[in-house]
A and B are shown apart, each in its own frame.
Chain A
Amino acid sequence: MSALTAGGSPWPARAFGVASVVAAFALVEALIRAGTINAFIVPLPSQIVAAIPRIVAEEHVPARFWQTTQEVLWAALLLGTVGVGLGVLLYRYRVLRLATETWVGALAAAPIVLMYPLFLVIFGRSATTIVMIGFAAGLAPVILKTVEGLAGTRAVLIDVGRSFKLSRRQQFWKILLPAALPTVFVGMRLGLVFAMINIVGVEFLINFGGLGQLVNELAERYDLPGTYGAIFFVVLTSIVFFDLTERVERWLRPHR
């Protein structure tokens, strides 16, 4: 059932969401001005807003935003192809699944970002290192959720396919994959969150462009309003990808 039929227009809810954020900022502003929150640690939200045009003009934010976005995009593409592909393989070959599922699960909890020196050795100090760390960090949830989605396909739908004498390939493309898509997208969203965190983190650590590097530089200059302004653009990247994933899912699953 669509959101419209379920609960009327979505605009009041969206307006409430925006109002909540504005109210939270106003509260923080008031608490800082009252001295409850230390102004040397947390800048005034009004100063952060004022810093945004400055860092956009002086710190090449659009180019950095585009670099981080490109890195996340590449990681997302790798997750969607390699991650989902590996999930399909693990579903298809039970022995492979039994042999590796525990390791893949462990990978989900591993602090991949700490392995950045190893990635630097393999891929050099380049955007490839950042993309590969993002990809590795997001891989486990994509694989696990793909396996879960495929394995969770209702038996009766598979029987319908068998009753129409579908080939194995048809059974996969026409039934298994569409049935698994909701769960696959849960995995993709989780994977993207992990990938983004790690991409910005490694940009921060290896000082190789992007928004992560900007956060690092501004923090080192003790430009706190600018630092939080840069973090705002990191959040914006996250929103862009969340929206993009939503749109892709709506396109693939119009019945949602």
Chain B
Amino acid sequence: MTPPRAQLEVEHIVKHFVTADQTVTAVDDVSFSVAPGEFVSIIGPSGCGKSTLFNIIGGLTGEYQGRVTVEGTTISGTHPAIGMVFQEESTFPWRSVLDNVAFPLEIAGMGKSERADRAAHFVKLVGLSGFERRYPSELSGGMRQRVAIARTLASEPKILLMDEPFAALDEQTRVLLGDKVLQIQQELRQTTLLITHNLTEAVQLSDRVLVMTYRPGRLKRVVDVGLPHPRDAEIVGSDAFGHTVAQIWHDLREEASRGIAADEARVLEGGRR
């Protein structure tokens, strides 16, 4: 049996940042692929280049080495095949929930009534029916993030790319929202790449977890999450879940410690100048 063709391929990505006194390699020769319908997470300590990778794949950052392909076609810049969900709160405060979700459809030139119907479908999908006419300022942080996810899904991207979308939420909301995202991903068979620093989230949601090293960001290890589908928040308490988390933490702890040591050294060096 031939393996499924990758929907997203990231090949030998290298990204340097030039500062006043040095050149920092943020990402160093990172390659991986994501199959159709697969949920892959990239996890790593702060400063490992996860967000840089997110920006490169999403097309927000240029001038890097390597290439990103979607279904075999090399892409540069932002691309309709890749829908992005950001870490920061990104709903438009001047638009209602329905108008936020309809935004990409409006840009695509869809008629008003048709896009309202389509948007309502995605609002329902993220469990916000009844809130269509509310404004983001009237919603909780978790609800606003669901609006942002629905807006991205409404553009029907081939790949959903998320950068720590639950980072600003409390732990309970995070687990339950993760549950919702996984349910939607399974329902749509949505290819998803999640950038996170949260171990529980990565294991709860993913088919595979890619562990990155501290700066320069390289792929340290790929962990297949063998937990059965369908999963829900209950799985967080299972032995198998704990075992997988421990396995990833073993790799991550070393990198996180390196990150902390490097930060301390930088502060000390700055103090000596």
Contact = CB atoms under 8 A, between A and B. Distances in A.
**A and B together in one complex:** yes
Interface of A: 1, 154, 156-157, 159-160, 162-166, 170, 174-175, 178-179, 181, 253-255
Interface string B147-173: 000001001000000000000000000
Given A156-B86, A170-B107, A255-B135, A162 B92 contact: no
B107 A1 contact: no
25 contacts: A154-B88, A157-B90, A157-B92, A159-B90, A160-B90, A160-B92, A162-B60, A163-B58, A163-B59, A163-B78, A163-B82, A163-B83, A163-B152, A165-B78, A165-B79, A174-B103, A174-B107, A175-B92, A178-B94, A179-B92, A179-B94, A181-B94, A253-B94, A255-B95, A255-B96
A1 B138 contact: yes
B103 A159 contact: no
B137 interface: yes
Given A162-B60, A163-B60, A164-B107, A255 B93 contact: yes
A164 B104 contact: yes
Contacts of B58: 163
A174 B104 CA distance: 11
A178 B137 contact: no
A162 B78 CA distance: 7
A163 B107 contact: no
A160 B107 CA distance: 12
Contact of A166 (B60, B107, B136, B138): B107
B72 interface: no
Interface of B: 58-60, 78-80, 82-84, 86, 88-90, 92-96, 103-104, 107, 135-138, 152, 155
Q: Chain A's interface: helix, strand, loop or mixed, by majority?
A: helix
A160 B155 CA distance: 12
Contacts of A254: 135
Nearest to B100: A160
B84 A178 contact: no
A254 B92 CA distance: 13
Tell me which of B78, B84, B94 has the highest count of chain A C-beta atoms within 10 A of its own C-beta.
Answer: B94
Contacts of A160: 84, 86, 90, 92
When A and B form their complex, which 8 residue pairs have the shortest distance between CB atoms, in order from nearest?
A255-B135, A156-B88, A163-B84, A178-B94, A156-B90, A160-B90, A156-B86, A164-B104
A166 B83 CA distance: 13
Contacts of B90: 156-157, 159-160
A253 B136 CA distance: 13
Nearest to A253: B94
Contacts of B82: 163
Given A156-B88, A170-B107, 12 more contacts: A156-B90, A157-B92, A159-B60, A159-B90, A162-B78, A163-B58, A163-B78, A163-B84, A163-B152, A165-B79, A165-B80, A179-B92
B92 A178 contact: yes
A255 B100 CA distance: 13
A174 B89 CA distance: 17
Contacts of A174: 103, 107
Nearest to B55: A159
B113 to A, nearest CB: 20
Contacts of B104: 164
A156 B89 CA distance: 8
Contacts of B135: 254-255
B94 A1 contact: no
A49 B79 CA distance: 68
A29 to B, nearest CB: 45
B155 A164 contact: yes
Contacts of B83: 163
Nearest to B58: A163
A255 B94 contact: yes
Given A156-B90, A157-B92, A181-B94, A255 B107 contact: no
Nearest to B148: A160
Nearest to B93: A255
Contacts of B94: 178-179, 181, 253, 255
A178 B136 CA distance: 14
A164 B135 CA distance: 21
A191 B60 CA distance: 38
Nearest to A156: B88
Nearest to A252: B94
Nearest to A2: B138
A159 B163 CA distance: 13
Contact of B137 (A1, A159, A163, A164): A1
A166 B138 CA distance: 27
Nearest to A160: B90
A180 to B, nearest CB: 11
Contacts of B96: 255
A169 to B, nearest CB: 12
